[in-house]
Amino acid sequence: MVKKERGPYGKNMIKVAIRFWTNNLPKGADKKTAWKGGALYLYKNDHKDIKPAMIMFDDINDDFQKKLFKLLNDQGIKLVEVPKEKFRVVNK
Protein backbone atom coordinates (compact mmCIF):
# COMPACT_ATOMS: atom_id res chain seq x y z
CA MET A 1 0.00 0.00 0.00
CA VAL A 2 1.35 3.41 -0.97
CA LYS A 3 0.98 6.17 1.59
CA LYS A 4 -0.37 9.43 0.26
CA GLU A 5 1.26 12.68 1.29
CA ARG A 6 -1.06 14.77 3.39
CA GLY A 7 -1.19 18.51 3.13
CA PRO A 8 -0.99 20.81 6.13
CA TYR A 9 -3.72 20.19 8.70
CA GLY A 10 -6.89 22.13 7.92
CA LYS A 11 -5.82 23.29 4.48
CA ASN A 12 -9.00 21.93 2.92
CA MET A 13 -11.37 22.73 5.79
CA ILE A 14 -13.21 25.58 7.42
CA LYS A 15 -13.65 24.74 11.09
CA VAL A 16 -16.53 25.99 13.26
CA ALA A 17 -17.08 24.92 16.87
CA ILE A 18 -20.35 25.04 18.81
CA ARG A 19 -20.26 25.57 22.56
CA PHE A 20 -23.33 25.49 24.79
CA TRP A 21 -23.56 27.29 28.12
CA THR A 22 -23.82 25.05 31.19
CA ASN A 23 -23.54 27.60 33.99
CA ASN A 24 -26.38 28.34 36.45
CA LEU A 25 -28.57 25.43 35.33
CA PRO A 26 -31.72 24.64 37.33
CA LYS A 27 -31.17 22.59 40.46
CA GLY A 28 -31.23 18.87 39.75
CA ALA A 29 -30.07 19.16 36.12
CA ASP A 30 -27.76 16.32 35.19
CA LYS A 31 -24.24 16.85 33.88
CA LYS A 32 -25.31 16.38 30.24
CA THR A 33 -27.77 19.28 30.34
CA ALA A 34 -27.03 22.64 28.74
CA TRP A 35 -28.87 25.84 27.86
CA LYS A 36 -30.19 26.23 24.31
CA GLY A 37 -27.87 29.20 23.90
CA GLY A 38 -24.15 29.32 23.39
CA ALA A 39 -21.46 30.51 21.02
CA LEU A 40 -20.14 29.66 17.58
CA TYR A 41 -16.38 29.91 17.03
CA LEU A 42 -14.77 30.21 13.62
CA TYR A 43 -11.18 28.99 13.71
CA LYS A 44 -8.32 30.81 12.03
CA ASN A 45 -7.18 29.30 8.72
CA ASP A 46 -4.18 30.99 7.11
CA HIS A 47 -4.57 28.92 3.92
CA LYS A 48 -8.01 30.44 3.35
CA ASP A 49 -7.33 33.91 4.84
CA ILE A 50 -9.88 33.33 7.60
CA LYS A 51 -9.50 35.23 10.84
CA PRO A 52 -10.81 33.81 14.12
CA ALA A 53 -14.29 35.01 15.05
CA MET A 54 -17.07 34.32 17.54
CA ILE A 55 -20.79 35.01 17.67
CA MET A 56 -23.31 34.13 20.38
CA PHE A 57 -26.77 32.65 19.82
CA ASP A 58 -29.71 32.73 22.23
CA ASP A 59 -31.74 29.72 21.11
CA ILE A 60 -30.64 26.85 18.92
CA ASN A 61 -34.21 26.52 17.58
CA ASP A 62 -34.68 30.19 16.65
CA ASP A 63 -31.51 32.03 15.71
CA PHE A 64 -28.73 29.43 15.46
CA GLN A 65 -28.79 29.12 11.66
CA LYS A 66 -29.00 32.90 11.15
CA LYS A 67 -26.02 33.43 13.44
CA LEU A 68 -24.01 30.68 11.71
CA PHE A 69 -24.59 32.27 8.30
CA LYS A 70 -23.73 35.71 9.69
CA LEU A 71 -20.47 34.35 11.13
CA LEU A 72 -19.57 32.85 7.75
CA ASN A 73 -20.78 35.82 5.67
CA ASP A 74 -18.80 38.30 7.77
CA GLN A 75 -15.65 36.46 6.65
CA GLY A 76 -16.80 36.21 3.02
CA ILE A 77 -17.36 32.45 3.27
CA LYS A 78 -19.95 31.07 0.85
CA LEU A 79 -21.58 27.64 1.06
CA VAL A 80 -22.55 25.70 -2.07
CA GLU A 81 -24.45 22.46 -2.64
CA VAL A 82 -22.28 19.34 -2.66
CA PRO A 83 -23.05 16.72 -5.33
CA LYS A 84 -24.25 13.56 -3.58
CA GLU A 85 -21.59 11.42 -5.24
CA LYS A 86 -18.79 13.75 -4.05
CA PHE A 87 -18.72 12.58 -0.43
CA ARG A 88 -19.75 9.33 1.14
CA VAL A 89 -21.21 9.80 4.60
CA VAL A 90 -20.54 6.98 7.04
CA ASN A 91 -22.64 6.77 10.20
CA LYS A 92 -20.89 5.17 13.14
Q: What is the dihedral of CA 91, 10, 75, 52, to 10 degrees?
A: 110
Give the mean pLDDT of 67-90.
86
Q: Residue 67, SS3?
A: helix
Residue 89: pLDDT band with limits 50, 70, 90: low
Residue 86: pLDDT band with limits 50, 70, 90: low
* Domain layout of the chain by residue ranges: 1-92
Question: What is the dihedral sign for C-alpha 81, 83, 87, 88?
Answer: positive
Q: What is the pTM of this model?
A: 0.76
The region, left, alpha or beta by phi > 0 then psi within -120 to 50, assigned to residue 21 is beta
pLDDT in tens, 11-65: 788 999 999 999 999 999 999 999 999 999 999 999 899 999 999 999 999 999 9
Residue 73: pLDDT band with limits 50, 70, 90: very high
